[in-house]
Structure 1
Amino acid sequence: MEETSITGYEIYHGFLSGYLNISQNREYLNQINVFPVPDGDTGNNMVKTLKTIVTGMRSTKSATSVMNGIADLSIVGARGNSGMILSQFINGIAINMDESDELSCSRFGIIVNESVAFAYEAMENPQEGTILSVIKKWSEAIFTESTRVKNFPQLLTLGFAAAKKALNKTPEQLKVLEENNVLDAGAWGFVSFLEGIETISENGFTPFHIRKKLNSYEIPENHNHDSEKIHRHQEIKFRYCTEVLLTDLQVPVGEIRSTLKKMGDSLIVGQGRNSCRIHIHSNHPDNVIKVLQPMGTIVQQKADDMIRQEQMVQSPISKVAILTDSIADIPREILDKYQIHVLNLKLSWDDDEYLDRLTITPEEFYRMQQSRKSFPGSSIPEKPLVRGLYTALLDHYDSILVLPVAKALSGTWMQMTKTAEEYNQKNHRITVIDTCLNSVAQGLLVVELAKAAAEGLTVQELSEKAEELKKRIRIFVSVSTFKFMVKGGRVSPLKGFAAAALNLKPIISLDSNGKGIAFDKAFTSRGLNSKIQKLIRNISESNGIERYALVHADALAKAEQFVSIVSNELDQESEYISSISPIVGMHSGKGAVAIGLITSRA
């Protein structure tokens, strides 16, 4: 029998069919995700990885050209453990190929078998019973059978059978799978991808009208969130699933691996033709970024909170997800207690980018602010990021209440609203509120609504409560310098100079629409304290004060002094003292202190 071969066209359509099949199983893969941590996102991560590939790849006759394009896209789009492993296997295939337009069965068998090592070598601690085992058994079967089978569809069918057999053995290899009576989610995803390729023999190539829809976004339907959970609780030793895409490498990949292996677990360092992607579970994503900055150019980064993901999957305390952004200054312990989800905004400084509060901490930011002459900037969240967050939340909650920084202060509200409209066309499941607040005032609003959500209020009831409550929340900010407001364009240089010359100590607030206003001023620290005391007394007497909290920009002693003044005046303790986020601190500068109040009456 004459040996058949495949070209770039077949590879292109194979990936399309594989992606379309696995995307239908995304939610199930999330449900059976118990390893390495039960954070319920394996399906999301594998689908995101493959969607980056299929929406960017190009169809040509050259098998090498198509595979190289797929490999490069996979490095850019790889997400999670399984996505990283799959990407590294794909890159191994691309690296092992020659410049041919076609691949014979025998040549294909040699290439995939040689490429398994790339996936294993990328991992600090390869674990059998995962997608690795299934990739290995599939590749071995393809290699072995390709010596006698010269028909590609038949060869792939035999490989698929071997992959399914390996998948069914994963609980025998990994104890946590056996304890939960599930197959490995990543391995299942790879088999689902192969199953999609199998359909080509029967159904042919993917029709053009379906390919056109690949750039659209699938909106999740309502699901039954009361179904029995199949996971058991596992201790999460390292909180953040941190991923970084590096280009222009300045050091060998081995040096990157040896440097990072002490900073967490689940380390994967995947190398592409022109870039490197790092995956690590770490408690300090800021330190990961810090050590990687001199090793190359960071073009992409993320740090997913796996504890919050586990709470969402295993033990949500409400049917409504409470989502805010990182400008809301709330301590971590309160975020955890009320399961508040946070979208960390992006901060850029010279050639560096950071995720607010995640890959740059307030403490590090204020240190840098004292030494850098340039002024940082921030940007609204990209729509794909917001979409991914909405999709993940709607998989586990009936609805979402979004509480971003004031519309008047940022474009974040508009992005959250416009993206929510896509999801609300069939069922209104996402409500976005213009909080008209920021910092500690925004934080107080978010916490109160998270408490109410935990008590069982519906999203409609929470929306009404938010509109009423925000009218009773006020913020007063004391800044120690106008330097950064001048740099950021919030204050003119002339006014900044005059304020510095007069040793002016302003008190800044927000109007009813969330715009910054000058509220009062003092000329000495004693005068400022007196103003704050008088302000609190007047508000308490006229409107009553139910709760208050303070935040500071590396000025804990000053914040504690304010707390002493307020607590003596009101005879009640603050809800919390916390740090001001780096994005807010861009303009407030080091030394700022802000107090947020919830009054009894508007």
Structure 2
Amino acid sequence: MNTKLINGHDIYHYTMSGAKKIIHHENTLNSINVFPVADGDTGSNLAYTMKCIIANATEHETVSDTLSSISEVALEDAYGNSGAIFASFLHGLSVESKGKDSLSMSEFSDITNDAVKYAYDALAVPTEGTILTVIKEWAGFIKNQHIHHLEFKTLLLEATKHAKHALLETKKQLKVLRDSDVVDAGALGFVYFLEGIKDYFLYGKVHLSNNVNTSHKVVDHVNPNFQYCTEFIVEAYEHLDSKLIKEKLVKTDDSIIVQKIGDYYKIHTHTDHPDAAAKLVTKYGKIIKSKVDDMNLQVRLNSSSKSAIGIITDSIADIPAQWTVNKNVFQIPLQLIVDGNVYNDRLTLKNETLFDILKKTQQPATSSQPGETYLQKTFEFMLSHFEDVIGIFVSSEMSGMYQKAISVQSKIGSKHLHLFDSKTNSGAQALLVHTLIDQLESKSSITEVLSNLNKAVDSAKIFVEIPDLAYATLSGRVPKIVGNIASLLNLKAIISINDDGKGIVTKELNLKKLMVKKFQKSPFKKYGIVYTGNKENAIEYHQMMQELTGHEPVFIQEVSTIVSAFIGEGAIGIAYLED
């Protein structure tokens, strides 16, 4: 390959080769990840970002169009700190090459050097000794040395050597790297990207060795300063002052990155309170997309040896938070769309804020599932830490979550991923998760666990008394005529789920009397109490159910934000497994 000009096709193939190289070295990058958080996910985050680029970026004749496509995908789908910084640099390349059909070495040197600023400007607190430094050093070498080269091949090969030297220097620049005796994981990811480009020059394709370099030291991962890695894509009401957002978030959070994506902004932060971050962001625009990752969970699993069975459920299951901490349960947040904002169920919107919003808007809330790429990332992460993974999801008659999970399972093709339609929701779904936990603690085999879960699904019941059907009627969950009659007669409604997993309005009028009747017919193996809003009802039912059954509930839990949006404030529910 001998060229003094590169076009859009060249840029596309360079990027694809570099992306494949990063994906190939995902585990190596995870193993040395200590900055900004030692949670062992830099490789996974960069690999996810690269997979999105490979899947969605398009090849064009011109440099401008190709880089525009690549950067748009990168900005929207970038995961984690290093992914966001890398995406900002690609965005800079796109902006600076606008209108260019091809690039000479001189033009390329100017564009790469100017693009560095975009990566630095995106961060509230840019830190040297990271991917930022290596990108800057690589671009600076090209700027200073391109006049000594006759073709792109030799220039980029030499620039890659310089980037490797800059990578080694990161150990000296950051104390946490020096103490751990590793280079920066994000910076190494960028060097792998450059090596992928090098492979394309030398072999015409990326060279993926079966023997991945394992000479890098594996570090211990420790709990981060903040629990959640949180991102929002925001449609601003007007021009959003990136500096102002950074200044406000830096008071409580860290690792803050603000990027402009066309007419939108992407905001990345590490926080203990995603709902507070969301509340701040919604002052400046509408959230059109969000994601939250539990970094403590990532650290815990990355620091443990592979276990027998892991559990996945979705946020509709009203499980206690401690189950995700000490019971190997990964909870996938569904999305709630209310008042034009997209929230992560339970995480970026709490129920008290939800009810305040619903009182001010006449628009019904809606819900949706996370994308298949996110689900695949989650399933593969869990499969890497457990011999078998069991997923128990909200009724397929109420959500498309289970069907989407099945679709992703077919792509992964693993026999160790076992997915179940709970045919229920809320507290009953949580009791099925508890059944799995019981099985794991009794050291049951995977065959026994799956068999017992199948039986438990048929015995899971839930009844919820709601003050009125206004919210359910507004959302379309209950026919308008039924809601109007209940409202007219000032009747409390008791809703449930039938054997097919469909929501129903029962003919019952008193939840306490109903529970006595159900218990006398068939004692409860275990039960849980769920509520929305005021907890006083739950305390009252706790006493009643304890006297009735002779034992404590498995949990007393507030209902998920999504379900709360459809049943309203003041609801109380009893979920149980028939004996």
In the other structure, the counterpart of 1:358 is 347
Letter matched to residue 426 of structure 2 = S
Aligned-partner Cα distance in 1 for 2:327–2:381: 18
Correspondence for 1:217: none
Compute the displacement of 1:556 (Å).
0.7
**What CA distance in whole angstroms lies between the structure 2 residues aligned with 1:15 and 1:111?**
16
1:43 matched to 2:74? The reply is no
Q: TM-score, normalised by structure 1?
A: 0.88
Equivalent-residue separation in structure 1 for 2:67 and 2:484 (angstroms): 60
Q: Does 1:234 align with 2:222?
A: yes
The one-letter code sitting in structure 1 at the alignment partner of 2:352 is: E
Q: Tell me the matched-pair count.
A: 572
- Checking the alignment, whether the CA contact within 8 Å between 1:95 and 1:273 is kept in structure 2 is no
| Gap change, CA 1:65 and 1:435, over 3 Å in 2 | closer
2:251 to 243, 252, 262: 262
Superposed, which structure 2 residues align to 1:217-366 within 5 Å? 230-248=218-236, 249-315=238-304, 318-366=307-355
Q: 1:312: Cα distance to partner?
A: 2.0
State the match for 2:154 in structure 1.
154
Three-state SS of the structure 1 residue aligned to 2:468 is: coil
The answer for the alignment partner of 2:523 in structure 1 is 544
TM-score, L = length of structure 2? 0.91
Deviates further, 136-145 or 447-456: 447-456
| Alpha carbons of structure 1 residues 370 and 322: separation in structure 2 relative to 1, 3 Å | same
Q: For 2:149, what is the secondary structure of its paired residue?
A: coil
The aligned counterpart of 2:437 is 450
Structure 1 residue 535: Cα displacement: 4.1
Deviation at residue 408 of structure 1 after TM alignment: 2.6
- How far apart in 2 are the matches of 1:64 and 1:538? 71
SS at match of 2:551: coil
Q: 1:551 to 1:597 in 2, by over 3 A?
A: same
Paired residue type of 1:201: F
**Post-superposition offset of 1:518:** 4.2
Counterpart secondary structure, 1:133: helix
- 1:87-486 alignment runs, 5 A limit: 87-97=87-97, 99-204=99-204, 230-248=218-236, 249-315=238-304, 318-424=307-413, 427-486=414-473
Instruction: Name stretches of at least 5 consecutive residues in structure 1 with no aligned partner.
Output: 211-220, 222-227, 523-527
Shift of 1:272: 4.3
How far did residue 247 of structure 1 move?
4.0
Match for 1:568: what amino acid? E
Give the counterpart letter for 2:434 in structure 1.
V
Structure 1 counterpart SS, 2:430 = helix
Distance (Å, rounded) in 1 between the aligned partners of 2:489 and 2:67: 67
Letter in 2 for 1:471: D
Residue 156 of structure 2 aligns with an amino acid whose one-letter code is L
Task: Tell which deviates more after alignment, 279-288 or 487-496.
Answer: 487-496
Contact persistence 1:250–1:294 (CA under 8 A): no
Structure 1 residue 337: deviation in Å? 2.3
Match of 2:213 in 1: none
**2: CA distance, partners of 1:240 / 1:451:** 28
Determine the C-alpha separation between the residues in 2 that align with 1:307 and 1:383.
23
Distance 1:474 1:7 in 2: 62
Residue 345 of structure 1: how far off its partner (Å): 0.8
Which has the higher mean CA deviation after the structures are superposed, 555-564 or 572-581?
Answer: 572-581
Partner Cα distance (2:527, 2:9) in 1: 64
Aligned counterparts of 2:52 and 2:176: Cα–Cα separation in 1: 30
- Cα distance in structure 2, aligned partners of 1:276 and 1:117: 17
Per-residue CA deviations over 1:371-412 (Å, capped at 9, x if unaligned) read 321211112333222222112222222221010012232221
Separation in structure 2 between the aligned mates of residue 536 and residue 100 of structure 1, nearest angstrom: 72
CA deviation after TM superposition for structure 1 residue 592, in Å: 0.6
**Partners in 1 of 2:93 and 2:57 — Cα distance?**
16
**Contact kept? 1:67, 1:94, Cα under 8 Å:** yes
Q: Cα 1:482–1:464, aligned 2, differ >3 Å: closer, same or farther?
A: same
Cα distance in 2 for partners of 1:492, 1:271 equals 43
Looking at structure 2, the residues matched to 412 and 485 of structure 1 have their Cα atoms a distance apart, in angstroms, of 20
Aligned residues of 1:405 and 1:436 also touching (Cα < 8 A)? yes
Determine if the alignment matches structure 1 residue 562 to structure 2 residue 541: yes
| Deviation larger for 478-487 or 321-330 | 478-487
Distance 1:422 1:96, change over 3 A: closer
Task: Compute the RMSD of aligned alpha carbons.
Answer: 2.7
Question: How far apart are the structure 2 equivalents of 1:390 and 1:229?
Answer: 27
Q: What secondary structure, in the 3-state scheme, does the structure 2 residue paired with 1:146 have?
A: helix
Q: Which residue of 2 aligns with 1:577?
A: 556
Q: Distance in 2 between matches of 1:516 and 1:75?
A: 40
Amino acid at match of 2:171: P
Identity %: 32
Q: What does the per-residue CA deviation read over 1:66-100, in whole Å, with 9 as the maximum and x for residues that have no partner? A: 33333333212221111111111222233333633
- Alpha-carbon offset, residue 31 of structure 1: 2.7
Partner amino acid, structure 1, of 2:527: Y
Q: In structure 2, what is the Cα distance between the partners aligned to 1:10 and 1:559?
A: 64
Deviation, 1:56, is 3.5
Partners of 1:316 and 1:174 in 2: how far apart?
A: 29
More off after superposition, 549-558 vs 481-490: 481-490
Q: CA, structure 1 residues 133+484, in 2 after alignment: closer, same or farther (shift >3 Å)?
A: same
Select between 477-486 and 36-45 the one with higher mean Cα deviation.
Answer: 36-45
* 1:124 maps to amino acid: A
Instruction: Specify the SS of the correspondent of 1:270.
Output: strand
Q: Does the 8 Å contact 1:180/1:230 carry over to 2?
A: no
**Equivalent residue letter for 2:458:** K
Q: CA deviation at 1:541?
A: 4.5
The alpha-carbon deviation at position 143 of structure 1 amounts to: 1.9
- Distance of aligned partners of 1:463 and 1:271 in 2 relative to their CA distance in 1, 3 Å threshold: same
Deviations, residues 185-242 of structure 1 (Å, cap 9, x unaligned): 21111111100100122222689xx9xxxxxxxxxx9xxxxxx993424232221111
- Whether the 8 Å contact between 2:523 and 2:549 is mirrored in structure 1 is no
2:482 counterpart (472, 490, 495): 495
- SS of structure 1 residue aligned to 2:423: coil
Output one character per residue of 1:521-567: Cα deviation in whole Å (capped at 9) or x when no partner.
33xxxxx3xx51x4444444553334322111102111111111112
CA contact (8 A) 1:3 1:104 kept: no
C-alpha separation in 1, matches of 2:305 and 2:404 = 26
Residues 370 and 469 of structure 1, relative CA distance in 2, 3 Å threshold:
same
CA distance in 2, matches of 1:491, 1:73: 39
Shift of 1:580: 0.8
> For residues 22 and 501 of structure 2, what CA distance do their matches in structure 1 show?
45
Counterpart residue number, 1:215: none
Alignment of 1:1-16 (within 5 A): 4-16=4-16
Q: Does the aligned pair in 1 maintain the 2:196–2:206 contact within 8 Å?
A: no
**Partners of 1:504 and 1:521 within 8 A in 2:** no
Q: Is the CA contact (8 Å cut-off) linking 1:323 and 1:341 kept in structure 2? A: yes
Maintained 8 Å contact 2:64/2:101: yes
User: Given that residues 231 and 314 in structure 1 are in contact (C-alpha distance below 8 angstroms), is that contact kept between their aligned partners in structure 2?
Assistant: no
The 1-side partners of 2:262 and 2:525 are apart by 59
Deviation of 1:104 (Å): 2.3
Letter in 2 for 1:307: N
Alpha carbons 2:181, 2:217 under 8 Å: kept: no
